[in-house]
Homo-oligomer: A and B are copies of this chain.
Amino acid sequence: MPILLPLAAAFFAQAATAKPAVKPPLSPGEIANAAPAAAWRTIPDDDIVVFTLANGRKVIMQLAPSFAPRHVDRMRTLATSKWWDGTSVYRVQDNYVAQWGDVSEKKKLPAGVADTGPAEYVRTGGVPTVRMTRPDSFAAIAGFDPAGWPVASDGKKSWLTHCYGMVGVARDLAPSIGSGSELYTVIGHAPRALDRNIALVGRIIEGIDALSSLERGTGKLGFYGDAQKPTPIVSARLASALSAGDRPRFEYLMPGSPAFAKYLHARENREPPFFAVPAGGADICNVPVPIRRKT
């Protein structure tokens, strides 16, 4: 096991030294794991979609009905009607997005699913209750809502932020808002310029590496070229439609809980012995809301 690490890993490093060990501080992840049961909230089964890829990997998405209720309704319809079965991941652009759905664009959408309607890019209210110490380059306010979402705001309106792993609805030019059948997830540095310009509808909560480690597309914008094979999607199901034994359950660390405050503080102020200079702040996308399997 190599001990040369760009990350704290004080634990490993100290195991390798002969000097008396100073107990390293808890890492942000350890703080989250140590949080009491009361700080965790269960994610509803109806807000979870399980995509199974042809290589056996599962990619699990949490939906964000509070920000994009109509899109989420349509996506539940797409899952219930098994529409994504037999579609594929057909675009992987490095440091940007992986995108999936019907590459042929010929598959008929289920009744009630269309790419038109009022946009869900911004909502009234929803100003984050837990805030980052410092504002970022994109919004006056950035923080987290009690439902566990990363949110930016101007103080009156709010919107989800394009952080790593967030899922958005691919769309054509307006008036298209996207049907929700073609989705992308962020696999690089947060492309926050997309905020307020496109609907974010959720995030990948497990298995994102099954998308982020895919071969990059050789075509324009990372679309797969003729010689490349899109990754088939075998099935997509709401967790609520799975049998109890197959149903994955998740919980998130609730913003507003004391444990979340501790976690956020640790992310904004990484500590010695590895970190000598604490930043005193962080980007909202450096603070993924802790989510874990519920056992």
Residues on A lying within 8 angstroms of B by beta carbon are 1-7, 9-10, 12-14, 16-17, 90-97, 99, 101, 103, 105, 121, 132-138, 163-165, 168-174, 178, 182, 184, 188-198, 208-209, 212-216, 219-221, 223, 267, 270, 273-279, 281-283, 285-286
Nearest CB of chain B from residue A277's CB, rounded to whole Å: 4
Asked whether, in the complex, the Cβ of B95 is within 8 Å of the Cβ of A164, the reply is yes
Asked whether, in the complex, the Cβ of A273 is within 8 Å of the Cβ of B173, the reply is yes
| Minimal Cβ-Cβ distance residue in B for A91 | B2
Could you name 29 residue pairs across A and B whose Cβ atoms are closer than 8 Å? A2-B91, A2-B103, A4-B101, A4-B105, A4-B171, A4-B172, A5-B172, A5-B221, A6-B99, A6-B169, A6-B194, A6-B198, A94-B208, A94-B209, A121-B277, A132-B137, A136-B136, A137-B281, A164-B189, A174-B276, A188-B188, A188-B189, A189-B190, A192-B282, A195-B277, A197-B270, A197-B275, A212-B212, A212-B213
Docked complex Cα distance between A163 and B286 (Å) = 12
Asked whether, in the complex, the Cβ of B195 is within 8 Å of the Cβ of A279, the reply is yes
Q: Is the interface of A mostly helix, strand, loop or mixed?
A: loop
In the bound complex, residues from chain B placing their C-beta under 8 Å from that of A169 are 6
Other-chain residue from B137, B171, B275, B277 in contact with A136 (beta carbon distance below 8 A): B137
Docked complex Cα distance between A121 and B191 (Å) = 27
Docked complex Cα distance between A1 and B10 (Å) = 49
**A134-B137, A189-B188 in contact; A168/B279 too (CB < 8 A)?**
no
Asked whether, in the complex, the Cβ of A95 is within 8 Å of the Cβ of B165, the reply is yes
Asked whether, in the complex, the Cβ of B174 is within 8 Å of the Cβ of A283, the reply is no
Asked whether, in the complex, the Cβ of A281 is within 8 Å of the Cβ of B223, the reply is no
**A10-B173, A279-B193 in contact; A95/B212 too (CB < 8 A)?**
yes
Other-chain residue from B14, B94, B168, B220 in contact with A6 (beta carbon distance below 8 A): B168
Ranked 6 nearest A-B pairs via Cβ: A4-B182, A4-B170, A209-B216, A196-B277, A137-B281, A134-B137
Other-chain residue from B5, B137, B212, B281 in contact with A283 (beta carbon distance below 8 A): B137
**A137-B132, A188-B188, A197-B276 in contact; A97/B2 too (CB < 8 A)?**
no
Docked complex Cα distance between A170 and B2 (Å) = 10
In the bound complex, residues from chain B placing their C-beta under 8 Å from that of A189 are 163-164, 188-190, 283, 285-286
Q: Besides A4-B171, A4-B172, A197-B276, 20 other CB < 8 A contacts?
A: A2-B105, A6-B168, A6-B171, A7-B96, A12-B220, A95-B208, A121-B277, A136-B136, A137-B281, A137-B282, A163-B189, A188-B189, A189-B283, A189-B285, A192-B282, A192-B286, A195-B277, A196-B276, A196-B277, A213-B215
Docked complex Cα distance between A169 and B285 (Å) = 23
